[in-house]
A and B are shown apart, each in its own frame.
Chain A
Amino acid sequence: MIPPRTLPRLFAGAGERPNSLTQHLDIFGGNSRVEDPYAELQGSGLLGRGGAGFPTAKKVELLRTQRGHHKFVVVNAMEGEPAAHKDFRLLSTNPHLVLEGAEVLARLIGADRIAICVARDNPTLVNHVERAVHERARQNSRGPAIDLHTPPWRYIAGEESALVNWLDGRESLPQFRRHKPSILHIGRGAALVDNAETCANVALIARYGAQWFRSLGTSGHPGSTVVSITGAVVQPTVLEVNVGTTLRAILESARADTSPQAVLLGGYGGLWVGPEMLDAPYANDALGQAGLSIGAGIVVALPRQACGLVESHRVVRWMAHESARQCGPCAFGLPAIADDLAHVIRGGRDGVSARTRLEERCASVEGRGACRHPDGVIRFVRSALAVFSADLDHHLAGAPCAGARDRQRYLAVPSLEKEEELVWE
């Protein structure tokens, strides 16, 4: 059975409840399998959906050539980005597609264990995944063992080396790696870490092949992808879209404001873009030319009445809290960058010097953490300064827009002390 070439793919058969294993086999076909899944994966051009967009086949190749037993496949469904809900929705719809993909990956690299990681802070999701894992264990006893792990949620818990640390019995803190890409280990076993949506795509590729997979998407970024849309929307929405469709079309389908002030692409380690990017194809090959990427599939539409700088400050403040505080430049640099941004937003003479200092600090901290957390924050800050540059001038002149005075906030930030919020009386 070759399913139609149109959407939905990952969300095929979506209903109120997660699809059971029997339903899963009905929807996707009992025993449709390609002959050589590795060749199909290589031919598919699948890019990882966890944020970095690295070719999945290359990671698999690295792990395949590793000797030794007891390799692991780690399914990353930690969803650290506060504006992301895609892995949650995917696992609440087709959990068996994700698990099946992990099993395919396990066979490809010769792994005998699969660890699926879901934040314990989302009990509904934990429940869905637990059920699916049990169902699989009962109905198909062959294949690698699947264990569910539930680390506490925090932004960096989903960073792959932090996740592996947790699985190895340590705190979920990122590791320093001399070279990247490098192979992560759990005990003595090499681990392949892939995002949940990546795994689901692997399952589809192993069923229907590369050619089918490439019938959606762009040549450099094939397939469909799952987007979480928040901000100026009636309701936060998760959509599966054809890669290469425009941002405007995505906003339209999500019933979001189609002429927002700006859009945040990729999440809190991503970038703001102005309305001129609304007609750009939503695909890494096209966006890459402007130094952008879809990241982890997050789209936040900033309403026209909001103050982009105040919103950005809240995000930066929160991201500074989320530093694992292992590395000096990140532990001290990010709070200092957040302070500078607050000074800039408050404006006046202080603001002008704070702006210079902010740029200097960004340059000094960049690239000096063990993980990419600080670099993500710095990218985000720089894009805010660029996209909201007209507002920035008003703030520096001591005349912020009305949005800054309004107390309504649009970007989801899990927790911030009252005194950390910028408010004008």
Chain B
Amino acid sequence: MGVIRRHGQFVIRVNPILCDGFGHCAELAPEIIHLDEWGYPVIDPEPIPLADVGALTSARYAERGCPRQALFIERIPEPGAR
């Protein structure tokens, strides 16, 4: 942790079975996580560059702050790179 990888992208994903819909994550990462009308997180599936330090920090907050451990960050390698 602490090392910021500048290459590649990430998405934040949710395990909908674990998620309880109290919506804590949307407070921790308001720029990437919104809530639907029932309070469950809606996450833009568009990958975010790892170089976007602000977004990555928020995503990590949400991941660690989720009381159900339902969120996880998934790295996506740059297209072409491996």
Contacts and interface: CB of A to CB of B under 8 A. Distances in A.
Interface in B18-58: 18-19, 21, 36-40, 42, 45
Contacts of B40: 328-329, 332, 368
Nearest to A173: B17
A328 B15 contact: no
Contacts of A176: 15-18
Contacts of B19: 327-328
B43 to A, nearest CB: 9
A159 B53 CA distance: 40
B42 A364 contact: yes
B16 A328 contact: yes
Contacts of A332: 38, 40
A370 B15 contact: yes
Given A176-B17, A176-B18, A328 B38 contact: yes
A330 B16 CA distance: 9
A302 B21 CA distance: 39
A263 B37 CA distance: 34
A175 to B, nearest CB: 8
Contacts of B39: 328
A329 B17 contact: no
Contacts of A333: 36, 38
Interface string A293-312: 00000000000000000000
A175 B17 CA distance: 8
B38 A370 contact: no
A330 B38 CA distance: 11
Contact of A364 (B16, B36, B45, B74): B36
Contacts of B21: 328
A326 B16 contact: yes
A18 interface: no
Interface residues of A, number: 15
A176 B38 CA distance: 20
Interface in A149-185: 175-176, 178
Contacts of B16: 176, 326-330, 368-370
B42 A326 contact: no
B36 A329 contact: yes
A326 B16 CA distance: 7
Contacts of A330: 16
Nearest to B74: A178
Nearest to B14: A368
A327 B36 contact: no
A326 B36 contact: no
A327 B42 CA distance: 13
A93 to B, nearest CB: 38
Contacts of A328: 16, 19, 21, 36, 38-40
Contacts of A326: 16-17
Contacts of B38: 328-329, 332-333
User: Which residue among B17, B19, B39, B42 has the maximum number of chain A CB atoms within 10 Å of its CB?
Assistant: B17
A27 B61 CA distance: 65
A260 to B, nearest CB: 37
Contacts of B72: 178
B42 A368 contact: yes
A32 to B, nearest CB: 46
B82 to A, nearest CB: 17
Contacts of A367: 45
A329 B72 CA distance: 18
A175 B74 CA distance: 19
Identify the interface centre among A175, A176, A370: most chain B CB within 10 Å of its CB.
Answer: A176
Interface in A321-372: 326-330, 332-333, 364, 367-370
Nearest to A374: B16
A327 B18 CA distance: 8
Given A328-B40, A370-B16, 20 more contacts: A176-B16, A176-B17, A176-B18, A178-B72, A178-B74, A326-B17, A327-B16, A327-B19, A328-B16, A328-B19, A328-B21, A329-B16, A332-B40, A333-B38, A364-B37, A364-B42, A368-B40, A368-B42, A369-B16, A370-B15
Enumerate the 7 nearest inter-chain pairs by beta-carbon distance, A residue then B residue, closest first: A327-B16, A328-B40, A332-B38, A326-B17, A176-B15, A328-B21, A176-B17
16 contacts: A178-B13, A178-B74, A327-B19, A328-B21, A328-B38, A328-B39, A328-B40, A329-B16, A329-B40, A332-B38, A333-B36, A364-B37, A368-B40, A368-B42, A370-B15, A370-B17
Interface of B: 13, 15-19, 21, 36-40, 42, 45, 72, 74
Interface of A: 175-176, 178, 326-330, 332-333, 364, 367-370
